Amino acid sequence: MPYLLISTQIRLETGPTMVGDEHSDPHLMSILGATKRSTLGNNFCEYYVSDAPRVVLDKLESLGYRVVSMTGVGQTLVWCLHRE
């Protein structure tokens, strides 16, 4: 999986950070210390870490990921990363 999306809500920019969906690489999620959880009302799971996005981005950079783009969607910040 060379692409990865991470996100956080603006009011939670110190964490937690969403780092993957239910189909994400379990090994990568383990390295990040992510736990899988489902929010009430959703029929899917997401991986979260308690770290701030900056900390997650630093970890992913050390693993070879680079930010491709970043945007704000409503009250959510989203980063798209890619690994060669």
Nearest to 49 by CA among 27, 62, 68, 30: 30
- In this prediction, residue 28 has a pLDDT band, given cuts at 50, 70 and 90, of very high
Taking domain 3-82, whether its CATH number is 1.10.10.10 is answered by: no
Q: Residue 54: its pLDDT value, please?
A: 92
Alpha helices in the chain (DSSP H): 26-32, 53-62
- Residues 18-36 have a mean pLDDT of 93
- In this predicted structure, the answer to whether residue 1 has a pLDDT above a threshold of 70 is no
pLDDT at 12: 64
Summarize pLDDT for 33-84 with one digit per residue, the tens.
999 988 888 888 999 999 999 999 999 999 999 999 999 989 899 999 999 8
The residue type of 66 is R
**How many Cα atoms within 13 Å fall on the side-chain side of residue 60?**
29
